[in-house]
Amino acid sequence: MKKNSIVMVKQVPDTANISGQVMKEDGTVNRAKLPAIFNHEDRVALEFALQIKDKFGGKVTAITMGPPRASDVLRECLFMGADEAVLISDRKFAGADTLATSYVLAETIKHIGGYDFIFAGRQAIDGDTAQVGPQTAEKLNIPQITYAEEILEVGESSVKVKKKIEGGYEILESKLPVLITVIKDAAFPRPFQAKRIMAYKNAKTLSELEKLTEGNSLLYIDQLRDEYESRNLYIKTLTMDDLKLDESRCGINGSPTKVYKVESVVLAGGNHEMIPPTKEGIGKLIDHLLADHILG
């Protein structure tokens, strides 16, 4: 009863370590100054997939759509135990919102095929939309379970999952294949494994191999790719053309979301008011909150 999983991962800016140089004067983020990290909930998603592999066997494929440097997280997926990693990268994907992203991811998953589970983190810490997982499931026309805390049971063609809801949990059963998004505390992701780090540290994407051939006329990219593939060190790289995608649905063209304005909100201290812990005080506090539209 082998079960194959595809895990959708994302490289995100490390928003927990924002230093002074990161915010530009216009309030936008200077990504070059931000360290890029593996979105934590996606690591948890990979852990779920690896646990299923540990139990039932099968294959784990990690995929990400992103710029060339997103290959870092794919290597980290290999370090954790993923069998294969795929980078979906094309300049034409730039500026994608969740709709365009889920289109590309869904088409990639169809291209890969042969899956029982698709795992993803609940959301990425840069966009915080939590939409890509569900939209991908919709496009693949398969069931989805979001906010998963625990996989309770895996059957021949079904799965039972504990899902977190406000103030409690639900237990849901679904047919396979299914897309599951997981929350931060659902599992502690396993560490990178020393031997896998050493074995896969030189795994490379197509564009990274192309860089090696630059300025070296003796290296041919096809040969190099074959060589890396034979050593299990090739990170499959897919472009818009490889996937035969509709350009009008990719990147900025396929993204109805338009950013209206980015504001740098400075939380200034100093403007505080003492409210006495009395009945009158509480009444006054409620009036304030109503006036600020925080309540009501």
Partner 1 sequence: MANYFSDNQDLLFHFEKLDLREVVDFLEENYSQSKKFNYAPVNYQDAKENFKRILEITGDIAANYIAPRSPSIDDEGATFKDGKVQYAKGTKESLELLSKAELMGMILPREYGGLNFPTTVYMMATEIISRADASLMNIFGLQDIGKTVAEFGNTAQKQEFLPGFASGEYTGAMALTEPDAGSDLQAVKLTAYQDEKGNWFLRGVKRFITNGNGEVLLVLARTEAGTKDARGLSMFVCYGDKTIKVRRIEHKLGIHGSPTCELQFNDTPAQLVGQRRFGLLKYVMYLMNRARVGIGAQSLGIAQEAYEQALNYAKAREQFGKPIYNLPVVSNMLIDMRVSLEAFRSLFYDTCVWLDRKEMLEQIVEKLKLEKKPVAELNERLKEATKYLNLLTPLAKYFLSEGANKICYDSMQIHGGTGYMHEFGIERLSRDARITNIYEGTSQLQIVAASGGVINDVFNDHFNECEKKEYKGSLINLLSVLKEIREMFNDCLKYIKEKKDPNIQDVASKDLVELYGYIYTGFLLLDEANDDQRKVFTARRYILDALTKARKNAEAIKNELYSDILHADTILI
Q: How far is the CB of 205 from partner 1 (least distance, A)?
A: 19
232 binds partner 1 (CB under 8 A): yes
Site string for partner 1, 163-192 (x = CB under 8 A): ---------------------------xxx
- Rounded-to-integer distance, Cα 197 and Cα 163, Å: 33
139 binds partner 1 (CB under 8 A): no
Q: How far is the CB of 191 from partner 1 (least distance, A)?
A: 4
In the block, which residue shows the tokens 């099968």? 58
Number of residues in contact with partner 1, rule: CB under 8 A? 14
Q: How far is the CB of 115 from partner 1 (least distance, A)?
A: 26
196 binds partner 1 (CB under 8 A): yes
Site string for partner 1, 11-30 (x = CB under 8 A): ------x-------------
> Residue 210: which H helix or E strand, with range?
helix 206-213
* Buried-exposed string 181-196: b where 16+ CB fall within 10 A, e elsewhere: bbbeebbebeebeeeb
- Rg over alpha carbons for the chain, rounded to the nearest Å, is 22
* Buried-exposed string 142-166: b where 16+ CB fall within 10 A, e elsewhere: bbbbbbbbebeebeeeebebbbbee
Q: Which of 25, 26, 141, 194 binds partner 1 (CB under 8 A)?
A: 194
Please give the residues from 146 up to 165 whose contact with partner 1 meets the rule CB under 8 A: none
Chain centroid to CA 103: 14
Q: Which of 157, 231, 247, 290 binds partner 1 (CB under 8 A)?
A: 231
- Reduced to 3 states (helix: H, G, I; strand: E, B; else coil), residue 167 is coil
| Identity of the residue, 132 or 203, whose beta carbon is nearer to partner 1 in the bound complex | 203
212 binds partner 1 (CB under 8 A): no
Angle at 176 between CA 79 and CA 143, to 5 degrees: 100
**Interface residues toward partner 1, by CB under 8 A:** 17, 190-199, 201, 231-232
